[in-house]
Amino acid sequence: MRICIVGAGYVGLTTAAALADFGHEVLCVDMEESKINCLRQGKVPIYEPGLDELITKNVKNNKLFFSSLVEESIKEYPVILIAVGTPSKDDGSSNLMFVHRVIDVIASTTNVYKIIITKSTVPPGTNEWIHKRLIEKGIDEDLFDVVSNPEFLREGFALRDLYHPNKIVFGTKTSRPIKNLKKLYYRGKAPYIFTSLTGAELIKYASNAFLATKISFANEMARICDAYEVDYDDIAKGIGTDPRIGRYFLNSGLGFGGSCLPKDLSSLKHSAVKKNVETKLLDAVREVNDTQIDLYLNKLTTELPDLTGKRITIWGVTFKPDTDDLRSSPAVMMIKKLLEKGCQVHAYDPMVQLELSGVYSHTNQYESVKNSDALIISTEWQQFLETDWAEVKSRMKGTIVLDARNCLDGKLVRKFGFLYLRIG
């Protein structure tokens, strides 16, 4: 099929590269000309394992193209896939202005049949609105089908998730586009889930809200374990063997961040309140997550009561390992709180050099701990699990290692004379 993807961000770019690799002719457009110029020179503006190679391969095979001429491109293609940003507004609702803008461009350029697929995460009712909007704009209902096709990509595993999805969700108003939709993805054994437009939107939100709930449950359990001096990992292992629970996403630590979970949790709450539905559980999930950082800071101040002027090293600034994404990163939020407490913060991350005033960003893991009073692990990069603790000991002034991702082998760290702290 000939597909135009609007939005060359994390979701748009990874999806474009994979669909081209599946054999479709794909044009990826973005309003940011600089981003498109980069891509045309073979430079990929985001880090995602395997993405560079896949883009290079499919550009070479004349399957993947890039343009910043959004309107002209949309006009030419029978399948439009929308992957523009849906950032949060102050009230937690999703800002749909970019989606609306794309829909109005589609309305002004549609004179032959088009399938309009929304991949951006949008609140329930948005795709029904899109359908109504196109009709209001005078487009005959026979000339288009709106489809909700949420993504479930994890950053750092996006291509793996595209090649090995655990499901493919399509929300439609009629069965008309289904034959074509079944040509879109290589799905392997993954089931198709066909539902209504709003059903598909809510599957996406429910998925992310459930993942967030599981993480906040893990963090609350870790707090209880801490009070009873029990190793939380034993609990996670114990309950995780039950297939009704599953060990995945039970890692306790600084809490969930990134461009999706926090944003989608707020947007779902906003959508519920709009219908006078109370969200006691979602509120609790948020509250536990929002208080995790202070919990770890309290743990630190039990050993270092006055942080003023203390030299604190932070390992990991991205919101999770294997990505360059700092969006809603708990590590960055912790750094900001340490700066507020008058600390001298030295940061090291294998992928990103944090540019934040008051922070010394290092390019060498071991240089970053020189003369430090405490070391905090805030993102569980594999590299930190393979640390040479003797080397760290020889360089640090203090002995505190605060594991804010419960990812280190505490026994090993203690063996080198460190005061190893964690929660649960």
Which of the residues 4, 28, 225, 260 is marked catalytic?
260
98 is a site residue for ligand UDX (CB under 6 A): yes
**Among residues 153 and 375, whose Cβ is nearest to ligand UDX?**
153
Member of 3, 39, 55, 83 binding ligand UDX (CB under 6 A): 83
Alpha-carbon distance 385 to 205, whole Å?
A: 33
120 is a site residue for ligand UDX (CB under 6 A): yes
Member of 49, 85, 240, 410 binding ligand UDX (CB under 6 A): 85
Member of 22, 315, 319, 418 binding ligand UDX (CB under 6 A): 319
Alpha-carbon distance 198 to 262, whole Å?
A: 21
Burial of 262 (0-12, 13-18, 19+ CB in 10 A): buried
CB of 245 to ligand UDX, least distance (A): 12
Alpha-carbon distance 296 to 318, whole Å?
A: 18
Q: Is 260 a catalytic residue?
A: yes
DSSP 231: -
Residue-wise over 244-261: b if at least 16 C-beta within 10 A, else e? eeeeebbbbbbbbbbbbb
**Among residues 203 and 304, whose Cβ is nearest to ligand UDX?**
203
CB of 424 to ligand UDX, least distance (A): 13
**Among residues 74 and 401, whose Cβ is nearest to ligand UDX?**
74
CB of 247 to ligand UDX, least distance (A): 9
Alpha-carbon distance 232 to 406, whole Å?
A: 9
Contacts of 334 (CB under 8 A, 6+ apart): 254, 293, 296, 297, 314, 376, 378, 404
217 is a site residue for ligand UDX (CB under 6 A): no
CB of 217 to ligand UDX, least distance (A): 10
**Among residues 10 and 144, whose Cβ is nearest to ligand UDX?**
10
Alpha-carbon distance 320 to 260, whole Å?
A: 12
CB of 9 to ligand UDX, least distance (A): 2
Member of 21, 48, 151, 349 binding ligand UDX (CB under 6 A): 151
> Site residues for ligand UDX, window 351-410 (CB under 6 A)?
none
3-state secondary structure of 313: strand
CB of 285 to ligand UDX, least distance (A): 12
47 is a site residue for ligand UDX (CB under 6 A): no
Contacts of 186 (CB under 8 A, 6+ apart): 22, 163
Alpha-carbon distance 30 to 195, whole Å?
A: 29
Strand 64-67's sheet: what is its strand order?
64-67, 25-29, 2-6, 79-82, 114-118, 144-148, 168-172, 192-195
86 is a site residue for ligand UDX (CB under 6 A): yes
Member of 31, 230, 304, 356 binding ligand UDX (CB under 6 A): 31
Instruction: Please report, for residues 161, 310, 334, 399, the alpha-carbon distance to residue 296 in angstroms, rounded to integers and kept in the order given.
Output: 32, 16, 9, 17
**Among residues 257 and 350, whose Cβ is nearest to ligand UDX?**
257
CB of 236 to ligand UDX, least distance (A): 9
Segment contacting ligand UDX by CB under 6 A, of 172-180, 191-199, 253-261, 386-394: 253-261
User: CB nearest ligand UDX: which residue?
Assistant: 9
Contact between residue 115 and residue 143 where contact means Cβ atoms under 8 Å apart: no
Segment contacting ligand UDX by CB under 6 A, of 48-56, 129-137, 153-161, 339-347: 153-161
Instruction: Please report, for residues 3, 23, 142, 169, 179, the alpha-carbon distance to residue 183 in angstroms, rounded to integers and kept in the order given.
Output: 12, 10, 21, 14, 7
Among 424, 377, 390, 86, which Cα is nearest to 251's? 424
Residues at the interface with ligand UDX (CB under 6 A): 6-12, 30-32, 35, 83-86, 98, 101-102, 120-121, 151-155, 208, 211, 215, 249-251, 253, 256-261, 319-320
Q: Which residue numbers are catalytic?
A: 260
